[in-house]
Structure formats: C-alpha cells, structure tokens
Structure 1
Amino acid sequence: MIQSMTGFGKSLIQIPNKKITVELKSLNSKNFDLNARIPSQYREKELDLRNIISNSLGRGKVDLSIYVEYTGEQTSTNVNTEVVKNYMDQLRGLVNASEIELLKMAIKMPDSLKTERDEIDDEEFKDIEKAVKEALKDINSFRNDEGKALEKDLKLRITNIQNLLEEVIKIDPDRVDAVRERLRKGIAEIKEQADENRFEQEIVYYIEKFDITEEKVRLDNHLDYFQKTLNAKDSNGRKLAFISQEIGREINTIGSKSNYAPMQQLVVQMKDELEKIKEQILNVL
C-alpha cells in the first residue's frame, strides 16, 4: 500500500503551568527536510526530535511547530525595570509627556523586556516526545488516507494505458499492411531502376526498423510490474518513478516507430496518462 508525503498532525499536552501544542505538516520532497520552529529552551533537544520524526516519516519536507502557552502564574518574560526607568529618564529630556506616555514609549524600546531561558527537565521532554509521537500517528493516518486516493488514481491511469496498449496490438496488423502497401507503391515506381538484391535488403531493414513487437512486450511487462509495486506492502515512490521512466521509454519508441496515424494517436493518449502518473508519483513516499 502506498503512502502520500502530504499530511498534517496535531497534538496537545497539559503539564503544570504550561499547555504545549505540537503541529506537524509535510509535503513531498526527494529527501527528509525538517524545518523546526520551537522555543529556545527546547533547541538542545532538536536533534532527538529530528530523529524521531525522520524514523517515522521517512521522506518529505516537514514543518515542526511547538507552541507553549503558560497557564499559571509563571511567565518566561519579565519587565527589565532598570532599563525601562533609564529610558524614561532619557525621554523626559526629549519630550513633554505624562508618565504613562513615557512608560508606553519606554516599554517598546530594545531590552525593555527580558526572557528567562527555562531549563527543560527530563520529565517535561518525555511529555513533549509523547506529544510528537501522537502528532506523528495523526500525520501518518492522514498520509495513509491520501495514499489510498493516490493508489486509486494510479491504478486507473495504468489500466487506461493497458487498454490503449491492447488497441495498439489490435491495429498493429493494419499498420503493417499500410506499410507494405506504401512499399509496394514505392517498388512499382523504382523497380526498373534498382538493383534487386540491394532492394530486398533495404526492404528487410525497413520492416525490422518499424517492428514494435519487443516494445509491446516490454511495455506490458512494465505495466504489470508497476501494478505489483503498487500492491506491495511498503510504499516505494522512487521505484514507481523508475518504472514510469521505463514505461515512457517504451511508449516513445512505439510512437517513433509506428509511422501510422491511428497508432500515433493512441501513443499520444498513453503519454497523457503517463504524465498524470508522474505528477502523482512525486507525492508518493
């Protein structure tokens, strides 16, 4: 079963004096790329959180956000009283204003507020780890649901290509007859001017050059392999991308060899389905 790289997960924990909210968002990416927006007191644990998230999500561009809301009397930010008083003294000499107005101006100046760096204890970090793992469960559930939708669409596209391939196989005898008819007309025009042996060699080369038997077989095998990979237990977007490249190679070769308008029209439709497949695969884990 395939899994999408797009997802969202959220978890909330309540600890003494704090409410901590963890949010995870992920988008498609070739590798694991984490952008962490977390309070400064948790920075020392960022590597541990990165490893937990990487092991769970595998690939993707991931945004981790941790929000802390103080629910008790405790606060991490305090007024820097001496600095504010100094600003007010300086401002008195510059403007004619009330104490309240001076205070409003001073409190906006640099260093008027100071943030005390809280030390994170082991128990608190365990609670944060638990919240991150809960958010990971949430985001993985989201990814699985998205993966089911992707799988359904990919199977539809592959089935469409298989049906178009059957049409190609069906009209191939007509294509061969059309090529032979063109050859016959060409022969009638230049028969008297050409060396017979040389001419026969050119005909054999021409027919072999436009034969698509191998391409039809290989394309059918690639389509079957794609289906099996979709139904595999593990999600493997890179493998599906590689198979889709091989599918595209065979479709392009059939198109270049067909030399027959009805078949080329089918090839165009196959290419259109394949492009949609490639777009979807970009989001497969």
Structure 2
Amino acid sequence: MIKSMTGFGRGSTDEEGGRFTVEIKTVNHRYFDLNIKMPKAFIALEDRMRKLIKQKVNRGKIDVFITQNNYEKQGVNAVLNEALADSYVQCLNKIKERYNIEEKLSVSLIAKFPEIIALKQEEEDLEILWEKLKDLLEEAVNTLVSMREKEGIKLQQNIFIKCDYIKSLLDKIEKRSPQVVIEYKQKLNNRLSELMQDYTVDENRLAMEIALFADKACLDEEIVRLNSHLIQVKDTLNLDEPVGRKLDFIVQEMNREANTIASKSNDLDIANYVLNIKNEIEKIREQIQNIE
C-alpha cells in the first residue's frame, strides 16, 4: 500500500500533576529528514525515538514536538550554593571594614545575589521516562501512518484514472498514425500534379519519398514504450513498499517518450493528443512528489 508523505499524529496522557504530549507532522521531502523538539530531559532518548519513527516512516520532512507540563512542579527543589554565598559574605564584610559601614548583613540581601538560591529539578529515571514516551510516540506515529495510508489510496486512485486517460489518447494516436501517411501521399500527389502538369511523375521516386516520410513519422516504438510505462506505474503503485523515487523515474521516461512523439509527428490531431498526454503526465508527476 502506498503512502502519502503528508500527515499528522498525536498522543497525550494526563498524569498526576501534569500532561505529557507527543505531536508529529510530516510533509513531502526527497529524503528522511527528522527534527525533534523536546525538553532537555529527553535528549538522551533521541536515538531511540529516531529508530522507532524510522521503522514506520521512510521518507519525508518529519517534525516531532514533545511537551511535558508539570502543574505541581513535582521534583523541583531550592538549592543553596554555599560556596558562592560564603564568597559574597566575605566580600561584603571586606566592604564594611574598608569603608567603616555599620549596617548589618541580612539574609534577604545575600539571597538577592544571582545564583545564590537556584531551582533544581530532580532527573527522572531514563527507563521510566522512555516507557512513558514510547507508548505516546507509537500512538502518534500509528495515527500519522494511518492518515498517510488513507491519502495514499486517494493518490493511487487518482493516478490510475490519469493513466487510463493517457492510454485512451495513445490508442487514438495509434489509430491516427497510419492515416497520416496516407494523407501525406495524397497531398504529395495532388501537389505534384499541380506543379508538373506536362511532365510524368517518377513513381519510384515518389514511392521512396513516401517511404522515408512513413519511416520518420512511425510512432510504433514510442507508443509501445509509453504503454509499457503506464503498466509499470500501475504495478509499482500496487507494491507494498516505498515507491516514490521509482515512480519519479518512470514519469521522467513517460515524458521523454511523449516529447519524441511530438517531435516526430507532423499532424495537428496527434499534436493535440500529445499536448493532453503531457498535461496528464505533469499532473501525475505533481502527485508523485507526495508519495513516500
């Protein structure tokens, strides 16, 4: 089943005193580009997160947002920096002695100095933290993958319709192609009759000219190849693996064959058919840019 590269997933839980949330969103990208924004406490778990996401997401620009809101600030303590406080007191006493200041030192004065009292949050056990995070991350990724699969089905159906339309246009070109040679022969005969009324036309020379035109205007090879590419697109879309890059290559080849048909044809009807084919190929190419 093909997957789109666009999706969103979310997992959250309410614990005693706080909320834990994981959000993940993806958009199309040529490679696997993962960016995780999280609290410092989770940095040691980043490698595990990447491996878990990589198991289910193969390509795209992936942004992960992890938040932890502690309503009661559990595990937060005030810590006294004793060495720094001692240093401040010594400096203040020296100032008093040097300038004969009678004022007494107060606790409130010392506590106002930077970093004398700091808030320190107790570190959580990494394994316990990972157990909380893993379940939520899996929930978010599974939701994301489900959304990508649903959009992938729509993309697949749309591309199938476009391939069928291109096939119908190719059938018209194949049917029209022999008629172009016949019409060229008639036009050439009529033109020569007008220009050479008193002269006999060399039938061998005329036959050679028509044969050269027929060979140059023959579209059989290009039509067969383009039909083959249409089958390859459908077969590839039915594979149960990432197919975006492969499809991108096939579509390039389809466009090349369409250009060759356009350059070899001298017929207005075929030129219009090719114009519509190229338009549909471009639409397919745009759709494929969002397939994993």
TM-score, reference length from structure 2:
0.78
Which residue of the partner structure matches residue 52 of structure 1?
A: 52
* 1:33 partnered with 2:33: yes
Structure ID, larger Rg: 2
C-alpha offsets along residues 195-242 of structure 1, whole Å, 9 cap, x if unaligned? Answer: 997776555333211110111111111111211212223341111111
Alignment of structure 1 residues 54-73 onto 2, 5 Å: 54-73=54-73
Give secondary structure in 2 for the equivalent of 1:57: coil
What SS is found at the alignment partner of 2:56? helix
1:222 aligns with 2:229: yes
Task: Provide the C-alpha distance between the structure 2 equivalents of 1:179 and 1:10, rounded to a whole number of angstroms.
Answer: 65
AA in 2 matched with 1:151: Q
Distance in 1 of aligned mates of 2:215 and 2:286: 35
- Provide the C-alpha distance between the structure 2 equivalents of 1:111 and 1:181, rounded to a whole number of angstroms: 102
Residue of structure 2 in register with 1:135 after alignment: 140
- Separation in 2, partners of 1:45, 1:18: 20
C-alpha deviation, 1:118, in angstroms: 3.0
2:156 counterpart SS class: helix
Query: In the aligned structure 2, how far is the partner of 1:163 from the partner of 1:148?
Result: 23
Per-residue deviation, 1:252: 1.1
Specify which of 146, 151, 169 is matched with residue 146 of structure 1. 151
Distance 1:202 1:176, change over 3 A: closer
Q: Given that residues 79 and 113 in structure 1 are in contact (C-alpha distance below 8 angstroms), is that contact kept between their aligned partners in structure 2?
A: yes
- Over aligned residue pairs, what C-alpha RMSD do you find? 3.2
Q: Give the Cα–Cα distance (whole angstroms) in 2 for the partners of residues 111 and 183 of structure 1.
A: 101
- 1:182, 1:113 → 2: CA distance? 96
Shift of 1:17: 4.0
Give aligned-pair identity as a percent. 34
Partner residue, 1:207 = 214
- Partner Cα separation in structure 1 for residue 119 and residue 278 of structure 2: 61
Cα 1:205–1:117 change in 2 (3 A) is: farther
Q: Which secondary structure does the structure 2 equivalent of 1:283 belong to?
A: coil
Measure the CA separation in 2 of the matches of 1:172 and 1:247: 19
| Equivalent runs, 1:69-218 vs 2, <5 Å | 69-74=69-74, 116=121, 118-185=123-190, 189=195, 203-218=210-225
Report what 1:249 is aligned to. 256
Separation in 2 of the partners of 1:212 and 1:55? 46
**Per-residue CA distance 1:59-90 (angstroms, 9 max, x = gap):** 1100000010114352659799999xx9xxxx
**Per-residue deviation, 1:169:** 1.6
- How many angstroms apart in 1 are the aligned matches of 2:283 and 2:180? 28
Asked if 2 retains the 8 angstrom alpha-carbon contact of 1:157 and 1:273, the reply is yes
Contact 1:80 1:112 in 2 (8 A): yes
- Return 45-54 or 275-284, whichever deviates more: 45-54
Unaligned 5+ residue runs, structure 2?
89-111
Distance in 2 (alpha carbons) for counterparts of 1:267 and 1:142 = 36
- 2:287 maps to what in 1? 280
Q: Secondary structure at the match of 1:25?
A: strand
Query: How high is the TM-score relative to the length of structure 1?
Result: 0.80
Distance 1:249 1:131 in 2: 47
CA deviation vs aligned residue, 1:107-154 (integer Å, no higher than 9, x gap): xx9999856473442112122011111111100100011111111111
**Structure 1 residue 259 and structure 2 residue 266: aligned?**
yes
Corresponding residue SS for 1:23:
strand
Match of 1:99 in 2: none
Worse-superposed segment, 223-232 or 209-218: 223-232
CA distance in 2: counterparts of 1:246 and 1:146, whole angstroms = 25
Counterpart residue type for residue 175 of structure 1 = V
Structure 1: give runs of 5+ residues left out of the alignment.
Answer: 87-105
Contact 1:42 1:120 in 2 (8 A): no
Equivalent residue number for residue 20 of structure 1: 20
Change (3 A) 1:113 1:153: farther
**2:3 paired residue number:** 3
Shift of 1:18: 3.6
